[in-house]
Amino acid sequence: MTVRAGYIINDIQVVLFRLLSQYVSDTAPWTSWSCIMGWPESETFEVATKPFIYVMEPKLADTREQFGSGLTSQNLWEVIIGVWDHRQHGGPEEINIMCSQLRNLFTTSGVYTKTFNVTLGSTVATATTIKAQGLRIKYIAGPRDLSESSDVKDFRAEMNLGILT
Amino acid sequence: MTQTVDISGWKRKHLALKRELMRVLPEAVDLATDMLYKETAKNLSGPHYAIGTRGPMTGQMPIPRMNYLLSQSLRRKRLNKLISAVYSDERVAKYNKYVHDGTRRTRPRRFLYDAVIARRPAGQNIMRYRIMAAIRRVGQ
């Protein structure tokens, strides 16, 4: 089973969210953080006790067509993955570690073998991988430090993840 | 035994291509920048709303305007022959980063990022066609 063409924007976001959720539930140092899907609304800051990773909706950045044995096309999606330390103490160290871990995750082959469970529509996939879901990592760019545009003592950065489907 | 290979033709063509690219690329950069500027301006051209009222279309494009400072802050600047920038001038609208990247209380409205995403393929195509045309011209 792969991400569904008719629901691809939501499916890509869900698959990435589930992948990162798996990491924050079972892998150190990711267990020090939490993961949320979409933009953190104001109540997130009240309930979240750990620094968090947020996964935004993908945007179609490019379409590549290939002629050979029939016409095939690949879509390049770009997803903003942000990290936010809202605990109002400490410094930028935690954010730097989070960004380094994200960068390392998406630039090594481990990302293709990490298994997680995901529900897309009415189909449940257990012990699946992002490769099995039809996603390929193209690049990860950043981090872009956004602490300046946050509250005092808030630390924040965003990275751009390129995904081919 | 020695064998001599004459690459003067290749060198000549290489130099001609370099010259041709330096002639056409600044123009292509201008076109792509212009496209990006217009797309960003479009994102900043939402409906007007009064001070003290809640803005419509929270988190959506185009961004509704209260005092028009953000749309007036849009600038483009040529940095060198091949690099050009579109940006929002912080001296005009100091709050531009809060609008673009969001805060604890407001969703981000990425007027620049969304414009880049929307216009990147077209910009790349402009570059590609210009480069290919230059190669063909030199090859003739």
Asked if the model's pLDDT at residue B90 lies above 80, the reply is: yes
- Asked if residue B25 belongs to a domain, the reply is yes
Percent share of chain A, pLDDT over 70: 96
Nearest by CB to B117, from A59, A63, A86: name it.
A59
Tell me the average pLDDT of chain A: 89
**Chain A partners of B122 at a C-beta cutoff of 8 Å?**
none
Is B120's Cβ below 8 Å from some Cβ in A? Answer: yes
- Asked if residue B5 belongs to a domain, the reply is no
- Asked if residue B9 belongs to a domain, the reply is no
Asked if the model's pLDDT at residue B40 lies above 90, the reply is: yes
Cβ within 8 Å of residue A73, ≥6 positions away: A63, A64, A65, A66
A97-135 per-residue burial string, b: 16 or more CB within 10 A, e: under 16: bbbebbeebbeeeebeebebebebeeeebeebbbeebbb
Of the ranges A14-18, B7-11, B12-16, which is most confident? A14-18
**Chain B partners of A151 at a C-beta cutoff of 8 Å?**
103-104
**DSSP letters along B43-61, please?**
HT---B--TTSPPSSTT-S
Is A93's Cβ below 8 Å from some Cβ in B? Answer: no
Q: Which domains does chain A have, with CATH numbers?
A: 5-164 (3.30.70.1700)
Is B59's Cβ below 8 Å from some Cβ in A? Answer: yes
**DSSP letters along A57-91, please?**
PPEEEEEEEEEESEEEEEEEEEEEEEEEE-SS-S-
The predicted structure's pLDDT at residue A92: 85
DSSP state of B82: S
Helix (H) or strand (E) holding A100: helix A93-107
Contact A39 B105 (CB under 8 A): no
Kindly state the average pLDDT of the residues B21-44.
Answer: 93
Strand partners of residue A74: A64
ipTM of predicted assembly, 2 dp: 0.86
Cβ within 8 Å of residue B122, ≥6 positions away: B32, B35
Q: Which residue would you say has higher pLDDT here, B78 or A1?
A: B78
How many C-beta neighbours within 10 Å does residue A45 have?
17
A55: distance to nearest CA of chain B, Å?
Answer: 13
Domain count, chain B: 1
- Asked if residue B100 belongs to a domain, the reply is yes
Percent share of chain B, pLDDT over 70: 96
Residue type, A19: L
- Asked if residue B1 belongs to a domain, the reply is no
The full length of chain A comes to: 165
Domain that includes residue B108, residue range: 16-139
Burial class (CB in 10 A: 0-12, 13-18, 19+), A35: buried
Strand partners of residue A54: A36, A82
Is B103's Cβ below 8 Å from some Cβ in A? Answer: yes
pTM given for the model: 0.87
- Asked if residue B94 belongs to a domain, the reply is yes
Asked if the model's pLDDT at residue B59 lies above 70, the reply is: no
Asked if the model's pLDDT at residue B56 lies above 70, the reply is: no
**Chain B partners of A62 at a C-beta cutoff of 8 Å?**
120-121, 124
Of the ranges A81-95, A119-133, B27-41, B94-108, which is most confident? B27-41
**Chain B partners of A59 at a C-beta cutoff of 8 Å?**
114, 117
Is B128's Cβ below 8 Å from some Cβ in A? Answer: no
Asked if the model's pLDDT at residue A106 lies above 80, the reply is: yes
Measured between alpha carbons, how far is A88 from A91 in angstroms, rounded to an integer?
Answer: 9
Q: Are strands A59-68 and A70-85 parallel, antiparallel or unpaired?
A: antiparallel
Q: Can you list the alpha helix ranges (DSSP code H) found in chain B?
A: 8-43, 69-72, 96-101, 111-139
Q: pLDDT tens digits, residue range A40-95?
A: 988 888 888 899 999 999 999 888 777 776 677 888 999 999 999 988 777 788 99
- Asked if residue B61 belongs to a domain, the reply is yes
Kindly state the average pLDDT of the residues A21-38.
Answer: 92
Q: pLDDT band for A1, please (50, 70, 90 cuts).
A: low
* Selection from B136, B140, B129 nearest residue B25 by Cα: B129
- Asked if residue B10 belongs to a domain, the reply is no
Q: Which residue would you say has higher pLDDT here, B87 or A1?
A: B87
Q: Which residue would you say has higher pLDDT here, A151 or B120?
A: B120
Asked if the model's pLDDT at residue B96 lies above 70, the reply is: yes
The predicted structure's pLDDT at residue B58: 65
Contact A148 B120 (CB under 8 A): no
